[in-house]
Amino acid sequence: MRLHEYQAKSIFSNHGIRVPRGKLAKNLEEVRKIVEELGEEVVLKAQVLTGGRGKAGGIKKAKSAEEAIEHSKNMFGKNIKGLTINKIYIEELIEVERELYLGFTYDGLNKSIVMLISTFGGMDIEDIAAQHPEKIIRKTIDPLIGFWDFLIREALYELEIPKKFFKPIASIAKKLYRVFIDYEAELCEINPLAITKDGDICALDARLNIDDDALYRNPDFIKLKDYSQMEPLERTAEEKGLKYVKLSGDIGLIAAGAGMGMATADYIHNFGGNPANFFDIGGATPEIVKKSFELLLQDSRLKVIFVNVLGGLTRCDWIAKGLIEAFNDLKVRLPVVIRLSGTNEYEGREILIRHIQENDLKGVFIVESMEEGAKKAVEISKGG
């Protein structure tokens, strides 16, 4: 779960990290009041849960209330990457001498927390890694020891940051690490972390992504979720307790397990196709299978659906029963490719084959392997 910038900044501020003075506006009248309160020079920042706001016109500077109003008129209701701007965060303009990137995340390969710091503040960390990998300093944090000052001092020394800034930046790094741990985050970053012209250190932007699997321990965060920023199908899926992520293709994908879903998407790409979604139904009951089809059939882009199950906890006979319920109740018109392997696979296939034969279903294809299924789905999506 990703928080808005203004929400993350509130948390950072409560942990002693300096952020610019700012307030949230939901209409033009609030914009005027906030600008008059903060002073003439401000920054207006669209609150949408995506990157690239600046390039899309979602971040503007204003030197007067009138200019701020004019920018706000152009922002409210505008879409950035499909997300509608309905809130603008307005904060005082900070004069910047230098910008850094500072963040904490998990390194899945090494199974550890890692601190990232770079002199290329203001850029997406992915872009920095692609264009200037040598400018990112990584410091692995031993969970048994925790975060110590020497880690940030080493990094700042390597980046040739003046020593007078070591102590204040180290202080912010420790506080940011505390936020990362206390809120069970997947990503916690300040980008950019500004060295101001008066020599202070200030978080000009803030990002905090909370681990969804930890939300039950932090129920207050659920109240902060902005459903207006979710893609409609993803919102529907969450309301139904389904694990769905919309992608850009035309092949509907249902898989038993996250790893299986990612592997299936890779196979589809290898054969020249594009998945329309990631959909994990691991441990599914017949009811969940039917709900999954209800959701996918709302996507007008789909040309075919590929169901790929390697059953462990997931029983293939239950998957088959759910598929039959979907075929009977939802009047599925799309071609469906099905691969069932694992627990009760023979029973599942027998149930499906009997139903296909009895109802003369021409658009349902049962395959033996993930490779065969992905290839068939791609062929159908391309008109084959």
Which of helix, strand or coil describes residue 192? Answer: strand
The CATH topology of domain 96-222 is D-amino Acid Aminotransferase; Chain A, domain 1 (3.30.470)
- Asked if 101 contacts 86 with a C-beta cutoff of 8 angstroms, the reply is no
Backbone torsions φ then ψ of 283, nearest 5 degrees: 75, 25
- Asked if 311 contacts 319 with a C-beta cutoff of 8 angstroms, the reply is yes
Task: Please count the other Cβ atoms lying within 10 Å of the Cβ belonging to residue 375.
Answer: 20
Which one-letter amino acid corresponds to residue 76?
Answer: F
Residues carrying an active site annotation: 101, 189
- Asked if 203 contacts 9 with a C-beta cutoff of 8 angstroms, the reply is yes
For the chain, the farthest-separated pair of C-alpha atoms sits apart, in whole angstroms, at 79
Map tokens 């902005």 to a residue.
226
Say whether pTM exceeds 0.85.
no
Backbone torsions φ then ψ of 185, nearest 5 degrees: -85, 155
Q: In sequence order, which residues have a C-beta less than 8 Å from that of residue 327 and are 6 or more positions away? A: 355, 359, 361, 364
Task: Please count the other Cβ atoms lying within 10 Å of the Cβ belonging to residue 193.
Answer: 27
Distance, in Å, from the CA atom of 336 to the CA atom of 381, rounded to the nearest integer, reads 11
- Asked if 107 contacts 113 with a C-beta cutoff of 8 angstroms, the reply is yes
Peptide bond into 192 cis (omega under 30): yes
The CATH topology of domain 230-381 is Rossmann fold (3.40.50)
Quick one: pLDDT at residue 40?
76
Distance, in Å, from the CA atom of 270 to the CA atom of 274, rounded to the nearest integer, reads 9
Q: Would the CATH topology of 21-92 be identical to that of 230-381? A: no
- Asked if 75 contacts 57 with a C-beta cutoff of 8 angstroms, the reply is yes
- Pick one of 1.10.3720.10, 3.40.50.1390, 3.30.420.40, 3.30.1490.20 as the CATH number of 21-92: 3.30.1490.20
* Domain extent listing, the chain: 21-92, 96-222, 230-381
Distance, in Å, from the CA atom of 312 to the CA atom of 318, rounded to the nearest integer, reads 12
Distance, in Å, from the CA atom of 136 to the CA atom of 235, rounded to the nearest integer, reads 35
Task: Please count the other Cβ atoms lying within 10 Å of the Cβ belonging to residue 248.
Answer: 9
Distance, in Å, from the CA atom of 249 to the CA atom of 276, rounded to the nearest integer, reads 4
- Average confidence (pLDDT) per 10 residues, the chain, 384 residues: 95 97 97 92 94 89 95 94 92 94 92 93 79 88 89 94 95 97 95 93 96 85 79 85 90 93 96 95 89 95 96 92 95 95 95 95 95 97 88
- Asked if 12 contacts 82 with a C-beta cutoff of 8 angstroms, the reply is no
User: Angle 11-17-21 (CA atoms, 0-180°, nearest 5)?
Assistant: 80
